[in-house]
Structure 1
Amino acid sequence: MSEEENTAGRAQPSRKLGRIEQAAILLMTLGEEDAAQILKHMGPKEVQRVGMAMSQLQDVPKNDVNYVVGEFFEAVGGQTGLGVGADDYIRSVLTNALGEEKAGSLIDRILIGGNTTGLDTLKWMEPRAVADIIRYEHPQIQAIVVSYLDPDQSAEILASLDDKVRLDVMMRVASLESIQPQALQELNNILEKQFSGGAGGQASRIGGIQRAADIMNYMDRSIEGQLMDSVKDMDPDLGSEIEDLMFVFDNLKDVDDRGIQALLREVSSDVLVVALKGAEDEVKEKIFKNMSKRAGELLKDDLEAKGPVKVSEVEAAQKEIITVARRMAESGDIVLGGSGEEML
């Protein structure tokens, strides 16, 4: 048996492949028409991430393709799409093909039959454009929109608002725990008149202190620092709670070994190398400790061989890993800890 195969006879990848990269490889093997049918049902962030991963694929080794396809077929090989159990089959196929994060909204649209709502339409827009749309709305409406959208998009939207408005909205986001489905539907209807979207589903639980912390994590450091000071001036306890829930890359040193090992299985080696260029030594050692000796040595070699990297690139790679970590924490796969230290 060759080194390219494990004891079960399955091809092994040439390097560690993250979920997004696996999804990109699988979509590339499907052909343009089939891949397009999947992509057109995805949300904006899903399309952006998978599309970027697809554009970066070059000279993919045959073993990598075989591995991804093999993983896919093993996951769904014992299931059937006929008759009873079709929903489970669809969930399994899409989740294994795209990963939980990317397949989630697509599964909902297929199985629940929901269409893009007015609020969902905002996810496809540039943050500045969304800021212009909600700029003169009541702060509570602004807080609902900001809570509903992805944290990175919301952070850019808030950055486009005036300081006083930004503070008011963030305080409302932190205190917003739920919203009546009827009220959310009314907001959808207003937006749909502008965008000609379909009738939407419902989402009654949005906002909260954790959401505020997530948004703060994506803000430019100067804006985040100023906003956090303002929040603390108005409500010291709330400011401390938000700060405690903020999670940055260097906080990975506080994650247990099992959590780090699970996280490393979801992150590509290329992203990890860039992220570690700006990490504390303690974080690097935590990573090396939870890799095999050979993998650790290869990673150290890659770090040494990697030339200078822009701070923005390091931050982008770290944020990508943090996003994966948060998603895994939400699903209960790992437990995050730490405080709101600044990223390098």
Structure 2
Amino acid sequence: MSEELASSPHEVAVLLLSLGEKGAAQVFKHLSPREVRQISQSMANMPPMKRDEVQNVMNHFFHEYRYEVGIAGGTRSYLEKSLKIAMGDKDAKNLMDSIYGEENTSSLEMMKWMEPSAVAELIVDEHPQLQAVVLTYLEPGQAALVLQRLPERCHEDLLTRIAKLKELHPSIVQELNVIFDDSVGLISTSQNTSVSGLKQVADIMNRMNESSVSHMLEHFKEQDSELADRIEQQMFVFEHFSRLDEDTIRKIVEEIPQNTLSLALKGASDPISGKFINTMTRREAKYLQDDMDSLGSVRSSQVQQARQEILNTARTLSQNGQIELNLSDEDEMIE
């Protein structure tokens, strides 16, 4: 979502209500859990609107609004159908329960819809193991943002704890109940819950800049080289683009502005730059090379930011099922 839209969930809610359930669901698919919650809350609380009110909102998104429209407020049925199409039954139910005050939504599920700053504030003074449990259960993007808001001196320890988590014991769940009883809600379980802490750490680190990743991997290698290797195998970093097939690279390139790609490939190894260039026509490759040459000297931070944008694009395409980022163990990097 753009910064402009993020500042006005009400306007986005009006737009989605005018699109119908299927149209709204398609938009929901491209939003983060936090954005979905913000907009859904606005839709749920929206009273019936007059035609001119709707038109004023529409004019904000379009240069000209040609049809007269009147819409009813967001009904529970409308929201539920839209969210189920976009998110699936389970996540849609959890969000609906949190909006309409149902009592059977667990604390950990509820936290998926909270602002990262609010989650960080909630757990900052708790035991590191409980913090690790929460970070393991959140979506990787949200977990990374929560981690950023916790004291930096704790990051190495927290990631180590997360990496070693394989299941959630009922006794830990009970401790979470004590913590979140008044502020979020109760969790109920009598069985161990399986979690993939190792993959969560890899996904969190995938969202860090390269210098932070290098620092963290160095820490893991010093503490437990085997664990470090397993984390690295789960990660997808910029160097791994050289191991993807050309069809996958082509789909990624289609989503990236050329100026971003030019900046990202500045100083890249031949295997990486070659992968991207091989997906282009001769003319496109020449334009790319000319762009790179015209950049001259650039700051390392600019290159890292451009590479991070491309990585984020690749991960989004992967999450949406448009590409696969799985790297074969047999396809080793050649130095």
TM category (shorter chain) comes to 0.5 to 0.7
> What is aligned with 2:59?
none
- What is the letter of the counterpart of residue 262 of structure 1? K
Q: Is the 8 A contact 2:112 2:139 kept in 1?
A: no
The 3 A distance-change label for structure 1 pair 226 and 90 is closer
> What is aligned with 1:115?
98
Aligned-partner Cα distance in 1 for 2:96–2:144: 30
> What is aligned with 2:33?
43
**TM-score under structure 2 normalisation?**
0.58
What is the Cα deviation at residue 249 of structure 1?
Answer: 1.1
Structure with greater contact order relative to length (CA < 8 Å, sep ≥ 6): 1
> What is aligned with 2:314?
325
Among 239, 252, 257, which residue is 2:246 paired with? 257
Among 161, 170, 184, which residue is 2:151 paired with? 161
> What is aligned with 1:237?
226
- Please say if 1:248 is aligned against 2:229: no
The 3 A distance-change label for structure 1 pair 325 and 181 is farther
- What is the letter of the counterpart of residue 34 of structure 2? P
Aligned-partner Cα distance in 1 for 2:139–2:327: 22
> What is aligned with 1:70?
none
The 3 A distance-change label for structure 1 pair 308 and 114 is farther
- Please say if 1:149 is aligned against 2:138: yes
- Please say if 1:334 is aligned against 2:324: yes
Among 267, 274, 278, which residue is 2:256 paired with? 267
- What is the letter of the counterpart of residue 210 of structure 1? K
Aligned residues: 267
Structure 2 gaps of 5+ residues are 6-10, 19-23, 39-61, 63-79, 100-105, 330-335
What is the Cα deviation at residue 289 of structure 1?
Answer: 0.4
- What is the letter of the counterpart of residue 92 of structure 2? R
- Please say if 1:291 is aligned against 2:311: no
Q: Is the 8 A contact 1:152 1:219 kept in 2?
A: no
What is the Cα deviation at residue 312 of structure 1?
Answer: 3.1
Name which one, 1 or 2, has greater alpha-carbon Rg: 2
Q: Is the 8 A contact 1:131 1:161 kept in 2?
A: no
What is the Cα deviation at residue 192 of structure 1?
Answer: 7.2
What is the Cα deviation at residue 147 of structure 1?
Answer: 1.9
Q: Is the 8 A contact 1:42 1:105 kept in 2?
A: no
- What is the letter of the counterpart of residue 241 of structure 2? L
Q: Is the 8 A contact 2:202 2:232 kept in 1?
A: yes
What secondary structure, in the 3-state scheme, does the structure 1 residue paired with 2:132 have? Answer: helix
Q: How does 1:212-227 map to 2 (within 5 A)?
A: 212-219=201-208, 223-227=212-216
Among 294, 297, 300, which residue is 2:289 paired with? 300
What secondary structure, in the 3-state scheme, does the structure 2 residue paired with 1:193 have? Answer: coil
Percent identity reads 28
**TM-score under structure 1 normalisation?**
0.56
Q: How does 1:41-190 map to 2 (within 5 A)?
A: 43-44=33-34, 104=87, 108-109=91-92, 113-115=96-98, 118-119=107-108, 121=111, 124-125=114-115, 130-151=119-140, 154-155=143-144, 157-158=146-147, 160-161=150-151, 163=153, 165-179=154-168, 187=176, 190=179
- What is the letter of the counterpart of residue 315 of structure 1? Q
The 3 A distance-change label for structure 1 pair 291 and 162 is closer
TM-superposition CA deviations, 1:99-147 (whole Å, max 9, x none)? xxxxx489942798443675555765455x6445323312221112222
Structure 1 gaps of 5+ residues are 1-19, 25-29, 49-59, 61-85, 95-103, 340-344
What is the Cα deviation at residue 280 of structure 1?
Answer: 2.8
Aligned-partner Cα distance in 2 for 1:142–1:256: 38
- What is the letter of the counterpart of residue 34 of structure 1? L
- What is the letter of the counterpart of residue 285 of structure 1? G
The 3 A distance-change label for structure 1 pair 140 and 281 is same
> What is aligned with 1:54?
none
What secondary structure, in the 3-state scheme, does the structure 1 residue paired with 2:240 have? Answer: helix
Aligned-partner Cα distance in 2 for 1:334–1:36: 33
Aligned-partner Cα distance in 1 for 2:294–2:36: 32
The 3 A distance-change label for structure 1 pair 306 and 238 is same
